[in-house]
Structure formats: C-alpha cells, structure tokens
C-alpha cells in the first residue's frame, strides 16, 4: 500500500462510530478484512479478564439536541464525536441550565468538538464546539440519545503472518475511537500495510486490532498460556501527523526492539522516550506480570498536538507521505529484527583466507566492495556467540544490510554457524 492507499483507508473508516464494543467495531474489522484476512473473536459481557470484566455492549443509532423550532443544534449524524461514548439512552425536554452539566466543550479551542467517554460509569452527555454553546439561547431543548447498553460482547481480531519460526512479533493498534483519524485510524492503516508487505518472515507476526486497555487486557488473559512465544512487539498510534517519529521504549528499556528502533531511527529526526505506565497498550504488554519487549511507535505522541481528541483530528490532519514514512520505518525495523542473529566463527585462529573461498571475487564490481570486505572481517572477528549482527553494525558503523550480507556469504562458505 502506498501512502495514498493508506490515507484512503483512513478516510473510509473515519465516519464509523467506534467504541470499546459494538457494531462500529465490527464494521471496522469487516472493512479491514477486505485488505488482510482476520480471525475475529467475541468475548461475552461479564467475562472476567484478570482484574477487569468485559462491559455491556454499547450501540447508538441517533442523538441530538433540538431547539424549540425543532432545529438540531447538536447532531450525531453530523459527527459521532457529538455524543459522549457509552452514553446511556435519554429522551427528555430540559432547559439549557439543566442541560449544561451534560455538555462538554473546549473553551480554549472554541471551534473544535472534544472527544469524551464514560465507559465504566453510566452517564450521558454531548460534546460540542464552545461557539455552538455560546449561540444557544436560554429556553427548553429536546434531548435525545437513542442508544443501548445490553449484554453483548467485546470484539477483537487478529491477522497472522506465518514465519519460519513459531516465536512471535506482535503489532497492536486500537479500534475503539470514533472519528479520530490520527489517534486510531492512522495506526490501523500502517498496520494493514505492514501486514501486506511481509513475505516469508523469520518470525511469526501477529497483528492485533482491538479496543484500547480492555482489549489488550482481554487478549492477554485469553492468551496467557502462550504469551511466552512473544519475543518482540510494537504498538502503533498517532502514525500519520506531520511531526517527527517518536519511539517509546519497553519497560525493560534494553529489549531488542528498543535497540532496533534506536538503530533504524538514528539518521533521521526523531525522539526516543523512556517507558512510563501511561499511554497506549504497551503498558498492558509491559505490565510486571508479563514484562514483554513491546515498545510504541508514533509521530507526535498522544496529547502533544492541539488536535488530539478533538474534531481537528480529521483526515486532512493525516498526511499520506507521513503514513508512508511510518510504514517505511516499521519495515526497516522488522527487517533488522528478522535477520539479527548470533554466529560462531568456525575458523577463529587467525584470519581465515577469504580469497581461496572466492569471497573476494564475489565482491568484484560492487561499488561498496571495500565496505563489504571490511564487514566480513568484522563479522568474523565478533562472531563469538556473544555479539549479534546488530552489535556488529553498531560497533563497526557499517550498515546492517551490509553486515547481514557479509554474514550470509560467510555462512555459505562454512566459516561461521548460528
């Protein structure tokens, strides 16, 4: 997928009203399944998942605030951000003063509609621009939220790309936000494109499309017996804005995924931040009972751009070229991760003669012949079972691709073994 293709997926998903449960999530997964096959799971309301319980399922058909003339002053059909997610059903007539406690605005950003939720405490409310509220006259308003909170299920899905080994890399993105293009949909689009691009990888790659927090906790609870297969992981969010890339380390701080992202990002403007137990679902994968090597990749991190969790986070805020850039970094990182090995030199006493094995001849005509030759010497010298190819690339300053190519040639010549 190109950046334009990914942006098209963002636009297609943008109108759907998603939450942590409900038909909006199901429809989102149906659309994703047109791009990559999915295994979809339904976890019933009331299911205990560690310290949490799967909540009732929420669905909404319509909602509005109408003035005395019947004109909809606030209309869910115009933007699904207008209703507080998980709002209980309401049908009433009330004065503006009675309505105010249920209205949410951003006075400092008067033209934008905020995004608000009430997942685990039954309530209801509307979100609207401060400009709209300022224009509402005193008087009575018809208030309607046509929603349901019923026994149902939490829905999540997986796409698995089989690898040469059963050890896994997980890639996670959240499906619980309504019309928010960068914080939600950009991560989904990059994950889909990344899944499509993988061809016979070394690791098995498991892509997780699930609601934030409760989704990750549910997945971990249902997969606790096999989570030991997870060797590396990455959470994708806020993946398409104009900011530079930001990588948040795993709880371990020195996991292989942390080193790989630092290496891949080293020659571009970026920021690397330490782990904290706040943010996206890396905090669930990195909870102390699991402590997985899972980091998080974004552009401008959550809450650090003015459009975050507002109607300003629309498809125009997401840029195709930035989606493509995020995808490229993910592809580079997983290419390094897939090829990073430790080798042992089978001819460790002095430098083995490369010429008689045709290794020098194989470099003839290459523009980087000298660097490739030097890479062979570095691989031979540091192949002691302790140093990985990434260690060698970092220490030598030679690009990882060149080091990996040298290792492949030396392995074929039976000078090193894994």
- Known binding residues for Zn(2+) are 177, 183, 309
- Output Rg (C-alpha) for the chain, integer angstroms: 25
Phi, psi of 292 (to 5 degrees): -75, 160
Cross-strand bridge partners of residue 270:
245
3-class DSSP state of 278: coil
Q: Given the DSSP bridges, would you call strands 126-127 and 103-104 parallel, antiparallel or unpaired?
A: parallel
d(CA 317, CA 314): 5
Query: How many distinct helices (H) and strands (E) make up the chain?
Result: 12, 19
Element (H, E) at 12: helix 3-13
Chain-centroid distance, C-alpha 43: 22
Annotated binding site: 177, 183, 309
Rounded CA-CA distance 260/189 in Å is 22
Distance from C-alpha of 297 to C-alpha of 10, rounded to nearest angstrom: 18
End-to-end CA, the chain: 35
Q: DSSP letters along 349-411, please?
A: SS---SGGGTTTGGGTT-TTHHHHHHHHHHHHHHTEEEEEHHHHHHHH---HHHHHHHHHHHH
Q: Please report how many Cα atoms fall inside a 13 Å half-sphere around the Cα of residue 391, on the Cβ side.
A: 14
- Which uninterrupted H or E stretch holds 231? strand 230-236
The whole-angstrom separation of Cα 333 and Cα 258 is 10
Q: How many residues does the chain have?
A: 418
In a 3-state reduction of DSSP, which class is residue 43?
A: strand
């Amino acid at each position: 997928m190109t950046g334009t293709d990914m942006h098209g997926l963002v636009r297609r998903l943008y109108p759907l009203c998603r939450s942590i449960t409900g038909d909006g999530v199901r429809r989102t997964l149906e659309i994703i399944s047109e791009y990559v096959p999915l295994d979809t799971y339904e976890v019933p309301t009331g299911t205990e998942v560690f310290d949490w319980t799967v909540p009732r399922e929420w669905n909404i058909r319509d909602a509005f605030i109408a003035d005395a003339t019947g004109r909809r002053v606030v209309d869910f059909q115009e933007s699904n951000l207008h209703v507080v997610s998980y709002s209980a059903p309401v049908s009433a007539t009330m004065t503006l003063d009675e309505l105010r406690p249920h209205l949410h605005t951003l006075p400092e950003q008067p033209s934008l509609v905020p995004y608000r939720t009430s997942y685990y405490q039954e309530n209801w409310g509307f979100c609207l621009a401060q400009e709209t509220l300022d224009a509402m006259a005193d008087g009575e308003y018809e208030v309607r939220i046509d929603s349901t909170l019923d026994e149902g299920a939490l829905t999540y899905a997986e796409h698995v790309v089989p690898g040469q080994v059963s050890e896994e890399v997980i890639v996670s993105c959240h499906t619980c936000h309504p019309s928010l293009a960068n914080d939600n949909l950009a991560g989904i689009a990059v994950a889909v494109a990344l899944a499509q691009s993988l061809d016979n990888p070394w690791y098995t790659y498991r892509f997780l499309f699930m609601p934030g927090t409760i989704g990750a906790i549910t997945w971990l609870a249902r997969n606790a017996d096999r989570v030991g297969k997870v060797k590396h992981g990455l959470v994708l969010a806020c993946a398409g804005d104009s900011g530079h890339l930001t990588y948040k380390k795993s709880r371990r701080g020195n996991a292989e995924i942390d080193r790989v992202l630092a290496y891949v990002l080293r020659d571009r403007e970026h920021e690397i931040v330490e782990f904290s137990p706040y943010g996206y679902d890396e905090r669930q994968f990195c909870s102390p009972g699991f402590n997985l090597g899972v980091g998080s990749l974004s552009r401008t991190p959550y809450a650090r751009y003015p459009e975050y969790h507002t109607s300003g986070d629309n498809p125009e805020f997401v840029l195709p070229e930035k989606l493509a850039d995020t995808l490229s970094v993910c592809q580079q990182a997983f290419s390094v991760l897939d090829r990073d090995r430790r080798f042992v030199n089978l001819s460790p006493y002095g430098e083995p003669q490369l010429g008689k094995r045709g290794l020098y001849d194989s470099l003839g005509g290459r523009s980087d012949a000298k660097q490739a030759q030097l890479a062979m010497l570095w691989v031979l010298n540091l192949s002691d079972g302790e140093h990985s190819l990434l260690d060698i690339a970092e220490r030598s300053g030679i690009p990882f691709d060149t080091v990996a190519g040298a290792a492949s040639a030396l392995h074929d010549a039976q000078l090193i073994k894994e």
